């Protein structure tokens, strides 16, 4: 494979990091909207699974959300960071529900932490985007001056 082809394909790295950055902003905004505008209700935890493996540390829960109008729906395989998983180890949880959004159910006890994590992920991915963009730009410029 030619260096020129690799140089062109290397632009996919900052593009993917830029997309991740935009996604994290959207996630933080959606989480905030659900916390602020959602309906407060409760959820019954049907499964709490905590992985203590060194390579994969996470908490996964299944829940049945009970709406104020008497309806209910399930949310399965909700993954949470291991560091905050102990805060939701209970039979019932207070949740905020905003139907039709990407972050439809947010656990109230850890909602603010989730928003902060999303903004932190945005910051890290934005820095990675800037580094990758600068690196790829410099490498492509170096390759073009080398050819001349």
Write the pLDDT tens digit of every residue in 55-114.
778 899 999 999 999 999 999 999 888 888 889 989 999 999 999 999 999 999 999 999
What three-state secondary structure class fits 53? coil
For the whole model, what pTM was predicted? 0.85
What three-state secondary structure class fits 55? coil
Q: CA torsion, points 125, 131, 133, 138, in degrees to nearest 10? A: -170
Angle at which helices 12-37 and 111-147 pack, to 10 degrees? Answer: 160
Q: What pLDDT shows up at residue 56?
A: 77
Nearest to 83 by CA among 123, 113, 45: 113
Task: Measure the CA–CA gap between 42 and 78, rounded to whole angstroms.
Answer: 16
């Amino acid at each position: 494979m030619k260096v020129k082809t690799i140089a062109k394909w290397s632009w996919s790295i900052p593009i993917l990091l830029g997309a991740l950055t935009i996604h994290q902003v959207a996630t933080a905004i959606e989480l905030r909207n659900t916390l602020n505008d959602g309906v407060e209700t409760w959820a019954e935890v049907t499964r709490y699974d905590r992985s203590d493996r060194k390579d994969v540390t996470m908490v996964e829960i299944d829940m049945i959300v009970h709406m104020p109008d008497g309806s209910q729906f399930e949310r399965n395989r909700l993954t949470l960071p291991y560091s905050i998983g102990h805060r939701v180890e209970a039979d019932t949880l207070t949740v905020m529900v905003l139907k039709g959004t990407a972050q439809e159910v947010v656990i109230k006890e850890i909602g603010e932490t989730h928003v902060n994590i999303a903004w932190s992920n945005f910051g890290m991915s934005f820095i990675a985007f800037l580094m990758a963009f600068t690196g790829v730009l410099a490498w492509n410029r170096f390759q073009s001056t080398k050819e001349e």
